[in-house]
Amino acid sequence: MAKKTKFIFVTGGVASSLGKGIISASLAKLLQARGFKVGIQKFDPYINIDPGTLNPYEHGECFVTEDGAETDLDLGHYERFLNEPTSQANNVTTGRIYQTVINKERKGDYLGSTVQIIPHITDEIKYRVRLLGKKNNFDFVITEIGGTVGDIESLPFIEAVRQMKWELGSDSIVIHLTLVPYLAAAGELKTKPTQHSVKMLLEHGVQPDIIVCRTEHHLNQHIRDKIARFCNVQPSSVIESIDAESIYDVPVLMRQEKLDTEVLNITKTPIENELNIDEWEKFLKRLKNPKATIEVALVGKYVELQDAYKSILEAMVHAGAENQVKVKVQTIHSESINASNADELLKNVNGILVAPGFGDRGIQGKIEAVRYARENKIPFLGICLGMQCAVIEFGRNVLDYKGADSTEFNSKTDYPVIDIMENQKKISGMGGTMRLGSYPCEIKPNSHAAETYQDKNINERHRHRFEFNDKYLKKYEEAGMIATGTNPKDNLVEIMELKDHPWFMGVQFHPEYKSTVANPHPVFVSFIKAAYHK
């Protein structure tokens, strides 16, 4: 029998960047730890069809799912916390909603009626919320509404929430995340911004059931009572979300604040199982009690942005905890590295990671970082563009291929060691211009890759257009750079390693997308282990 799914909406007020994604993922984790089946979904109010076309300066990293959807980075948090894959259905933008409705209109699906925001756009939103629950037989669907209440853009989403609350009663609740600022001059926490943002929600007909307050100082009972009184909620429904040392502390903090039991009470869900987050706590213990600290250089062109390499940074946290070492990431701007300062910048690091990316800005610096790692036998991990840079560097400096390059940067190079392969050209012709999502890879025995994965057949996620040009494979392998992972169907090279090096791996795919707290990614775990033992 199909289950009755309950729907939890998470909205935000007062300011952006309060951490709705982490609160949603933490609540999901707690419900999952009580044996419930939980799905999380993010609605983004912008008009882009997906974040794939967005510059990382806009919304940080683009997270890629198994089915090849280019999505918001919050889906990365959902996967890292829940250890369950997400898909296209977990991230919906205003652009996609409108595109669907307009396509239906063009096909005549609305039988001559006037197509309007209410009911057509709101129905499409509600359909997508319900569908996620129904398809997966979830007990709970948590839907995070991007943006801040009061934004013109998010109005249709808030209206859809109002309707669902009305239709479903206690099977649908709203958690509103706000900020309770501390005014140092007055020595006080201030509740007025929270009151105002709840009033704004009420103007749109939505009464929040639970208010989660981001704060730098503990909320005392007086503050909780005040917020409860002004915002029509029970004092027990005012939840403190204090600044945490690590995002991985938040589920534990939310358990202390009883966010999960509050949700279960309000949705009238019987509590059947005790909460069990033992594994999570073991992870936290390893994370917080490192035996040593190591330094890894992350070479990329968006290093001033915290969110641009989110999944890579989190994968290093997971791998650090697994090895019980603290990984200090030193971000180095690829444009700042050259042959004369590489030694000064990189001589003290235990490992070097060259980041993924698009376009030729900073490429020369990335190639210098690869050269430094190769020559000085420093553990090296190159991801996607980082792997391509490793191939270019080896071509130029070991094989003496003058001007070896990727055709992404120089279409006229004499040595197109990275190129668009014939079978990939066909894909571009059909409109989907990248190799996206999960593809199989076969691992060669007696390699770092084999030791890393302990498996012959693996699957990893991709997001790229260019590939290693296998015309050059023989020459590379003769000179000591070998393909230790290939796609079993079309032989595309997925992993390149140096024979004569303690740990040097370039991967065409993105291992960072699959690293979770419960399953730290083997490539990162091995890389950090090699860096630790350097």
Q: Cα-atom radius of gyration of the chain, to the nearest Å?
A: 25
Per the structure block, which two tokens stand in for 400? 């003496």
Among residues 384, 448, 462, 467, which one is catalytic? 384
Count the residues in the chain: 534
From the CB of 408, what's the least distance to ligand GLN, in Å? 5
Should residue 79 be labelled a site residue for ligand GLN when binding is judged by CB under 6 A?
Answer: no
Amino acid at 351: G
Taken in order 114, 116, 119, 125, the sign of the CA dihedral is: positive
Using CB under 6 A, which of the segments 39-47, 227-235, 317-325, 462-470 binds ligand GLN? Answer: 462-470
Give the CA distances from residue 168 to residues 2, 206, 265, 290, 505, in Å, rounded to whole numbers and listed in that order. Answer: 17, 13, 16, 48, 52
3-state helix, strand, coil split of the chain in percent (to 5) is 45, 20, 35
From the CB of 316, what's the least distance to ligand GLN, in Å? 17
* 38 SS3 class: strand
**Strand locations in 196-291, DSSP E?**
210-215, 238-242
**How many other CB atoms sit within 10 Å of the CB of residue 425?**
11
Q: Which of 59, 226, 464, 501 binds ligand GLN (CB under 6 A)?
A: 464
Q: Mark residues 389-408: x for contact with ligand GLN by CB under 6 A, - for none.
A: -------------------x
Give the CA distances from residue 93 to residues 44, 50, 134, in Å, rounded to whole numbers and listed in that order. Answer: 5, 6, 20
Q: Please give the angle made by the CA atoms of 317, 310 and 126, to the nearest 5 degrees.
A: 120
Residues 203 and 189 sit within 8 Å (Cβ to Cβ): no
- Residue 240 is a catalytic residue: no
Should residue 133 be labelled a site residue for ligand GLN when binding is judged by CB under 6 A?
Answer: no
Q: Which of 128, 463, 501, 514 binds ligand GLN (CB under 6 A)?
A: 463
Q: Which of 356, 379, 382, 511 binds ligand GLN (CB under 6 A)?
A: 356
From the CB of 434, what's the least distance to ligand GLN, in Å? 7
Sequence-separated (6 or more) residues with CB below 8 Å from residue 275: 30, 33, 34, 255, 260
From the CB of 257, what's the least distance to ligand GLN, in Å? 39
Q: Which of 98, 110, 358, 409 binds ligand GLN (CB under 6 A)?
A: 358
From the CB of 464, what's the least distance to ligand GLN, in Å? 3
Nearest residue (CB) to ligand GLN, 262 versus 408: 408
From the CB of 358, what's the least distance to ligand GLN, in Å? 4
Give the CA distances from residue 219 to residues 33, 198, 241, 483, in Å, rounded to whole numbers and listed in that order. Answer: 27, 18, 9, 57
Should residue 384 be labelled a site residue for ligand GLN when binding is judged by CB under 6 A?
Answer: yes
The H or E element that residue 479 is part of is helix 473-479
Site residue total, ligand GLN (CB under 6 A) = 10
Nearest residue (CB) to ligand GLN, 64 versus 531: 64
Nearest residue (CB) to ligand GLN, 34 versus 461: 461
- Residue 464 is a catalytic residue: no
Among residues 59, 314, 512, 521, which one is catalytic? 512
- Residue 384 is a catalytic residue: yes
Q: Which of 283, 302, 466, 476 binds ligand GLN (CB under 6 A)?
A: 466
What CA–CA distance (Å, rounded) separates 397 from 412? Answer: 19
Q: Which of 12, 133, 357, 379 binds ligand GLN (CB under 6 A)?
A: 357
From the CB of 385, what's the least distance to ligand GLN, in Å? 3
Contacts with ligand GLN, residue ranges (CB under 6 A): 356-358, 384-385, 408, 463-466
Active site amino acids: 384, 510, 512
